[in-house]
């Protein structure tokens, strides 16, 4: 880090001496303090600009922040992610995601509460939002709605 400052200091001193001589030669009577401040500010700004533009060599390696779900190897997870991606990219409402959420809800209700979605007490356990999604007509669900439904199912 210190090594890159020496050329800047030497350049600043050379600029100070050069400008000072030039101003003396043209009889401008330079003020040494103001000239030193001007050269120091210009040297610092040029150094900052050089540092900002010196990004090094470009790298073609991409750092993955999150590993891909497809690398997990879990076939059920892959199917569910594919189902959600297909639902989010579809142009028309599809019942497939709603039906898969219903299957997941049935599994959780059966395992944790001994109920099925058609049972009278199931609607109270599911809540109005999840019940409306599962029993209503097929419609396009947003990412936020899918997330809320999955959170409700996990918390059953």
Q: Map out the domains of the chain as residue ranges.
A: 2-50, 74-155
Tokens found for residue 142:
């947003």
**Total-model pTM:** 0.51
pLDDT, tens only, 20-32: 999 889 988 888 8
Nearest CA among 94, 103, 101 for reference residue 140: 94
Question: What average pLDDT does the segment 58-64 reach?
Answer: 74
Question: What average pLDDT does the segment 28-49 reach?
Answer: 89
As a whole-number percent, the residues of the chain with pLDDT over 90 amount to: 13
| Residue whose entry in the numeric block shows the structure tokens 């990219």 | 89
**In the chain, at which residue ranges do the beta strands (DSSP E only) sit?**
none
Q: Are 141 and 149 in contact (CB under 8 A)?
A: yes
Looking at residue 39, what is its pLDDT?
92
Q: Are 132 and 145 in contact (CB under 8 A)?
A: no
Other CB atoms within 10 Å distance of the CB of residue 47? 17
Nearest CA among 49, 43, 48 for reference residue 12: 43
Q: 3-class DSSP state for residue 103?
A: helix
| Residue whose entry in the numeric block shows the structure tokens 């898969």 | 100
Looking at residue 69, what is its pLDDT?
59
Q: What is the 3-state secondary structure (H, E, C) of 7-40?
A: HHHHHHHHHHHHHHHHHHHCCCCCCHHHHHHHHH
| pLDDT of 42 over the 60 cut | yes
As a whole-number percent, the residues of the chain with pLDDT over 70 amount to: 90
In the structure, what pLDDT confidence band is assigned to residue 71 with cuts at 50, 70 and 90? low
| pLDDT of 76 over the 70 cut | yes
């Amino acid at each position: 880090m210190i090594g890159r400052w020496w050329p800047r200091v030497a350049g600043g001193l050379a600029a100070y001496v050069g400008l000072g001589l030039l101003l003396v030669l043209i009889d401008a009577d330079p003020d040494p303090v103001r000239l030193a401040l001007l050269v120091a500010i210009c040297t610092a700004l040029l150094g900052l600009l050089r540092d900002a533009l010196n990004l090094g060599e470009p790298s073609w390696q991409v750092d993955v922040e999150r590993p891909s779900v497809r690398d997990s190897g879990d076939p059920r997870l892959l199917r569910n992610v594919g189902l959600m991606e297909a639902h989010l990219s579809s142009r028309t409402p599809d019942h497939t995601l709603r039906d898969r959420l219903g299957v997941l809800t049935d599994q959780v209700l059966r395992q944790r509460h001994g109920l099925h979605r058609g049972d009278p007490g199931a609607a109270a356990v599911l809540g109005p939002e999840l019940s409306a999604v599962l029993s209503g007509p097929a419609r396009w669900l947003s990412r936020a709605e899918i997330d809320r439904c999955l959170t409700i199912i996990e918390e059953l």
